[in-house]
């Protein structure tokens, strides 16, 4: 029976049970699912070229053995088989190949195969997210089918493009704009058209990158996006709402916020800076957004629940392991060090971990380091009666700087850009910082060589060189400015030799990407006082 049929029969309890019932699991039940499905995956994995390579020709019979045999992997370990899409090497037949940019990789993009059961699972996970987005209380939700869904996400071959296709055979949703029309539009066009259609038909659901949602909201409130209203095309209800909002604006002399026009059933958001932007989104749209987490390699793997205050990982999408922060740092300092991993039932509340996933259901990735850092908020949520660990997304691995979920910049990218620029930059480090509007940007601190003509090499030249390069390697970088109005790069020049002096004084090397706040403060202090020159 499809979800539509269940909606028609008003089987809401059954729907909740099917899609959100896993939230009633104990950690023991949760782990039983994880472990049993991993054994299935090992079975599939051991019968293919990719699996034999990653598992070194062995076939582990237990989860512990699997964790001993399989090393922690990165995309490089798969690239030669996945980039040419060699299907015969995979554990299961790929129905779809999903793409994303490969930050600091040898190739501009990386691809991941999706099997039929992975797609089924992804569909189910996303429906769960939709149900939870429209829920404020356990077992109660307002999703009923036929909702108008403003879907502000990238189309295929990106992960977010799967959803419109997979959920359509389960229940009816009116995508704004329709999937067919959206395919032909650019990202910005789609959002604009969707919003315009929303003004005519109303919006019940909204899914977007947190940074984009905020930008759309701000622009709407300032009147930038509300143009082109045609009262004849609008539904009477929408006209009434517009009229009401306009009257309010006149009366209270305040801006029109999206919530004055639309009463959303649910709002789903994702992206690295979500935690910073959730309050803003709620302010503009009048509903608590539901944060979800996913990626090209693992699919959609975590969602917040009805109280929207902590992510829970789906038990049947991937097998999860976690590297504690202390282990990550050891590994950064000494790349040959193999960090220890812990399972979901071995975590400590309050600690931060890097996520390691193994695809289930015939996926390609095994013990794959995602490079995403999560904080384990608590081991259960007593208030909601959930006995599973609750997480908050912290950021990318410190070695990667992610800006608004659009672009990811690695040490390799910056090094290459600086080399290509032919500028005499002797040392540098980069830090992810936030502006007064809580928008992320990359702050690059550079030292210019002693023989370099400091006067000629200005910050602007460096910035321009880097911007050109970033645009070249990452098309999304361009969108940051055009779509979100963010200037993602800031360059500061510090006196030559400051970093070197600091390192020799402390007897250790400075991390290039996101060094600890303490190190940054100390270097800047030294830069200001040591040479008498200012950081500019």
Partner 1 sequence: MPLLQLFFWAVPIGALLSYCLLMVFFSISQKDKYIRTFMLVLAALIVWTASTLFMRLQLYPGVLFWNKVMVAGMFAVPFFLYYFVSIFTNTLNNFSTILWGSMTAAAIAVDFMGFVVTKASIITHPAVENGRRFTSVEFSYSLGVMAYPIYILMFLLILTILLKAGMSFRRGGITHGRIALITFGVLIMFVGVLFNIIPAIGKYPVDILASLINAVLIIIAIYKSRMLELRFILTKGIVYSTFALILTGLYIYAVFSVEKHLGNTSKNLMPYFTTFSALLVAVAFQPLYRFTRIVTDKMFYKAEYSHRQALRSFSANISNNLNLDDISREFIEAIQMAIHAKHILILINNREKQHYYVYRTSSQIFKPELQISYDNPLVKWLESNNAGLSREKLYSLPFFKSMWEKEKKIFYDLDIEVIIPMKSRNDLIGILMLTRKVNNTAYTLDDLDLLAYLGSSTAVAFDNARLYTNAQSEALTDSLTQLYNHRYFRKALSEQMAKIGASEISLLMIDLDLFKLFNDLYGHIEGDKALELVASIMLRIVGQKGIVCRYGGEEFAILLPYFDSKRAFDIAEKIRLEIQRTFFNSTDVTQRFLTASIGVCTYPYAAPNAEELLKRADLAMYTAKNQGKNQTVIYTPRVFSSVKLYDTSEEGLKPSYAATIYALTAAIDAKDHYTFGHSQRVAGYATILAGALDLDKSHLVIIREAALLHDVGKIGIPESILTKIGRLTEEEMEIIKKHVEMSITIIKHLPSLNHVIPAVIGHHERWDGKGYPRGLKGENIPLLARCLSTIDAFDALTSNRPYRAGLDIETALKEIQNNIGTQFDPRITNLFIELVRNGTIDVEQSIKISKAI
Rounded CA gap, 431 and 443, in Å?
Answer: 5
Q: Using the rule CB under 8 A, is 385 a contact of partner 1?
A: no
Taking CB under 8 A as the criterion, the residue among 91, 198, 362, 497 binding partner 1 is 362
Q: Using the rule CB under 8 A, is 17 a contact of partner 1?
A: yes
Binding piece for partner 1, criterion CB under 8 A, among 35-43, 155-163, 367-375, 422-430: 35-43
Closest approach of Cβ 40 to partner 1, in Å? 4
Binding piece for partner 1, criterion CB under 8 A, among 17-25, 213-221, 263-271, 296-304: 17-25
Rounded CA gap, 496 and 242, in Å?
Answer: 59
- SS3 annotation, 212-227: HHHHHHHHHHCCCCCC
Largest alpha-carbon pair distance within the chain?
78
Size of the site for partner 1 (CB under 8 A): 19
Taking CB under 8 A as the criterion, the residue among 22, 66, 319, 428 binding partner 1 is 22
Nearer to partner 1, 236 or 532 (CB): 236
Closest approach of Cβ 20 to partner 1, in Å? 8
Taking CB under 8 A as the criterion, the residue among 7, 12, 27, 33 binding partner 1 is 33
Q: Using the rule CB under 8 A, is 21 a contact of partner 1?
A: yes
* Whether the Cβ atoms of residue 151 and residue 182 lie closer than 8 Å to each other: yes
Nearer to partner 1, 215 or 361 (CB): 361
Rounded CA gap, 349 and 336, in Å?
Answer: 28
Q: Using the rule CB under 8 A, is 363 a contact of partner 1?
A: no
With left for phi above 0 and alpha for psi between -120 and 50, is residue 125 left, alpha or beta? alpha
Q: Using the rule CB under 8 A, is 2 a contact of partner 1?
A: no
Rounded CA gap, 156 and 122, in Å?
Answer: 14
SS3 label, residue 536: coil
Closest approach of Cβ 47 to partner 1, in Å? 12
What residue spans of 296-455 are helical by DSSP H?
325-333, 411-421
Binding piece for partner 1, criterion CB under 8 A, among 14-22, 72-80, 286-294, 393-401: 14-22
Q: Using the rule CB under 8 A, is 170 a contact of partner 1?
A: no
Taking CB under 8 A as the criterion, the residue among 122, 361, 367, 439 binding partner 1 is 361
Exposed/middle/buried for residue 154 (C-beta within 10 Å: 0-12, 13-18, 19+):
middle
Beta strands 489-494 and 440-448, pairing class: parallel
Q: Using the rule CB under 8 A, is 186 a contact of partner 1?
A: no
Could you tell me what percentage of the chain is helix, strand and coil, using 3-state DSSP and rounding each to the nearest 5?
A: 40, 25, 35
Closest approach of Cβ 329 to partner 1, in Å? 35
Rounded CA gap, 443 and 462, in Å?
Answer: 12
Exposed/middle/buried for residue 262 (C-beta within 10 Å: 0-12, 13-18, 19+):
buried
Closest approach of Cβ 149 to partner 1, in Å? 21
Short-list 306, 314, 341, 313, CA closest to 327: 341
Q: Using the rule CB under 8 A, is 122 a contact of partner 1?
A: no
Contacts of 421 (CB under 8 A, 6+ apart): 462, 465, 466, 469
Binding flags for partner 1, 293-332, as an x/- string (CB under 8 A): ----------------------xx----------------
Q: Using the rule CB under 8 A, is 343 a contact of partner 1?
A: no
Closest approach of Cβ 25 to partner 1, in Å? 7
Instruction: State the residues that interact with partner 1 by CB under 8 A.
Output: 1, 8, 14, 17-18, 21-22, 24-25, 32-33, 36-37, 40, 117, 315-316, 361-362
């Amino acid at each position: 029976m499809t979800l539509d049929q269940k909606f028609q029969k008003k089987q809401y309890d059954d729907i909740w049970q099917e899609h959100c019932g896993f939230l009633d699991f104990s950690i023991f039940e949760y782990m039983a699912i994880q472990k049993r499905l991993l054994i299935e995956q090992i079975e599939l994995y051991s019968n293919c070229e990719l699996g034999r390579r990653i598992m070194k020709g062995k076939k582990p019979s237990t989860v512990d053995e699997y964790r001993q045999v399989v090393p922690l992997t990165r995309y490089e370990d798969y690239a030669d088989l996945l980039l040419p899409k060699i299907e015969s090497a995979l554990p299961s037949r790929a129905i779809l190949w999903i793409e994303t940019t490969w930050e600091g990789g040898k190739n501009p993009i990386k691809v991941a195969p999706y099997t039929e059961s992975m797609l089924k699972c992804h569909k189910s996970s996303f429906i769960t997210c939709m149900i939870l987005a429209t829920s404020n209380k356990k077992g109660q939700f307002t999703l009923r089918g036929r909702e108008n869904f403003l879907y502000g996400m990238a189309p295929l071959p990106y992960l977010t493009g799967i959803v419109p296709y997979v959920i359509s055979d389960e229940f009816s949703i009116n995508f704004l704009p329709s999937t067919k029309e959206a395919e032909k539009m650019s990202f910005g066009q789609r959002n604009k058209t969707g919003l315009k259609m929303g003004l005519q038909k109303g919006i019940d659901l909204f899914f977007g990158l947190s940074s984009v949602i905020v930008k759309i909201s701000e622009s709407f409130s300032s009147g930038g996006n509300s143009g082109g209203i045609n009262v004849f095309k609008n539904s009477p209800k929408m006209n009434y709402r517009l009229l009401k909002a306009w009257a309010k604006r006149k009366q209270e002399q305040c801006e029109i916020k999206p919530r004055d026009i639309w009463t959303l059933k649910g709002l789903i958001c994702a992206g690295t800076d979500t935690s910073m932007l959730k309050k803003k989104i709620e302010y503009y749209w009048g509903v608590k957004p539901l944060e979800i987490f996913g990626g090209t390699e693992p699919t959609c793997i975590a969602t917040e629940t009805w109280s929207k205050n902590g992510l829970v990982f789906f038990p049947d999408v991937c097998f999860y392991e976690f590297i504690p922060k202390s282990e990550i740092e050891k590994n950064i300092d000494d790349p040959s060090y193999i960090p220890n991993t812990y399972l979901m039932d071995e975590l400590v509340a309050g600690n931060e971990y890097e996520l390691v996933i193994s695809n289930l259901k015939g996926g390609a990735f095994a013990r794959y380091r995602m490079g995403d850092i999560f904080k384990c908020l608590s081991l259960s949520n007593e208030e909601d009666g959930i006995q599973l660990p609750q997480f908050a997304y912290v950021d990318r691995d410190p070695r990667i700087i992610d800006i608004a979920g659009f672009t990811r910049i690695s040490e390799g990218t910056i090094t290459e850009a600086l080399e290509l620029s032919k500028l005499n930059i002797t040392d540098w480090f980069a830090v992810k910082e936030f502006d007064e509007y809580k928008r992320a940007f990359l702050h690059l601190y550079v030292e210019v060589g002693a023989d370099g003509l400091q006067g000629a090499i200005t910050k602007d030249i460096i910035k321009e060189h880097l911007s050109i390069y970033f645009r070249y390697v990452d098309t999304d970088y361009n969108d940051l400015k055009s779509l979100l109005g963010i200037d993602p790069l800031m360059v500061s020049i510090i006196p030559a030799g400051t970093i070197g002096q600091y390192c020799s004084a402390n007897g250790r090397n400075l991390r290039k990407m996101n060094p600890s706040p303490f190190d940054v403060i100390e270097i800047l202090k030294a830069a200001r006082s040591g040479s008498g020159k200012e950081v500019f």
